[in-house]
Amino acid sequence: MALCRRISYLYALALLTVYALFLPLGGYERMMEGKYHAFLLLSLAYVLTMTSLGAWRTLRLREPMCLAALAYLALTALSAALSPYGTAVLLGGTRRDGLLTAALYAAVFLLLARHLRPDRRLLYAAAASAALCDLLVLVQLTGRNPLWLYPAGLNYFDGDVAYSGFYAGAAGNIDFTAFLLALCTAAMAAALVRGWSKWLLAPLALTVWTLWQLRVAAALLGLAVTAVLGLPLLFPRRRRAIWALTLLLTAAAFALIWFFPGDGGTLSELHRLLHGDVDLTFGSSRLLIWRSLLPLIAERPLLGGGCGTLYLRDVPPFYWQRGGETTYFAVTSAHNEYLGVLVDQGALALLAFLALLALALWRAYRHAESDRCAVAGAALLCYAVTAFFSVACCITGVYLWLLLAVLAPKER
């Protein structure tokens, strides 16, 4: 048992350091494939090692979070078995979000939920990794090409001009990089409020500044919502007063959005949406993408088309308008984790997934006196909000299951 715990701790530590900062040969053109191979190597080694040690015999599979994870995996497997797209469901599309990845997520969660004993050093390691990633991003935002991650002669500012999308940091796509930095920011801020080491102030400030420079609206929105809804996690001893403050701040935020038209950007889009002015190009055309996926839901509502198969389905391209020109892009992602599960794995798998998130957040709020639950709960809350505008892949998805495992009940 002690050996299983040490191996689980080392696996979690590797995810937060070696894997988070891993940069495959070939730069951003090879980022997804390189990260996926690293994910497979690291996670398969962990699962197989734990299996050889008999770790599965000690699992508490009747615990509600474990049951929800098993239900999610079983329904995902059923969706894959009945998918009309054959073996394409095994690996999925370019994001490598197929059945193999989903099965590894669930296996890793079940093993970590039982054997991982998290401590503060894991967050300190994540903070150090975030700081190194921040430095890389900030240098890239000066127009330089450190570590030769961009193709020769190109830099960050050639995004959506010489190549599709924007890339920065150790996760590739800036949405992925900002997503992970936002989760780490929420965890570091919660840890500081709970009295952890003040040296976290340096990586926290650096990460917040980097996120502000990247201007990824989903990450900033996730942190803003977490700052309000996460207050009961941070101050559990004055529960009634803090919940009253949370409701007051939420009402104030809605009032601000309702009355303040803004001068462009996300706030302006939210203001116009609340007033019934819907433009499908809002949110980098996310509304257009989401609407285009509705017919796919109607085709296979319960079990979806099979995990990772969206790229094979007949979806109209979405577009961005810049400078009077319209650029069209193929839809290979739902740009919404919940909608992505619904389209690919169906309503039943989505219910299991939502149940797992709800159980984890419920534990975080109920046991907020525990630093572990408060810090992991803040990061998970940030994930739950940001996931409305992003989709998991092997680069980001494994960290969700790590957070869930940290929040799972632990033996005393």
Report residue 163's pLDDT band, with 50, 70 and 90 as the boundaries: confident
How many residues are listed for the chain in this entry? Answer: 412
Rounded Cα distance between 118 and 123, Å, is 9
Please report the pLDDT score of residue 412 as a whole number.
Answer: 55
User: Closest Cα partner for 228 from 212, 252, 206, 210?
Assistant: 252
Rounded Cα distance between 42 and 25, Å, is 17
Please report the pLDDT score of residue 260 as a whole number.
Answer: 78
Q: What's the mean pLDDT in 382-392?
A: 91
Check whether 213 has a pLDDT greater than 80.
Answer: yes
Rounded Cα distance between 333 and 165, Å, is 13
Segments of 198-308 assigned E as strands? none
Model-level pTM greater than 0.75? yes
Q: What's the mean pLDDT in 31-56?
A: 96
Q: What's the mean pLDDT in 216-224?
A: 93
Rounded Cα distance between 245 and 232, Å, is 9
Identify the residue with better confidence: 161 or 348: 348
Model confidence pLDDT, tens digit, residues 277-306 = 766 666 667 788 888 899 999 999 999 999
Asked which of 129-143, 253-267, 286-300 is least confident by mean pLDDT, the reply is 253-267
Kindly report each contact of residues 159-162 with a partner whose C-beta sits within 8 Å and lies 24 or more positions away, as own/partner: 160/320, 160/322, 160/327
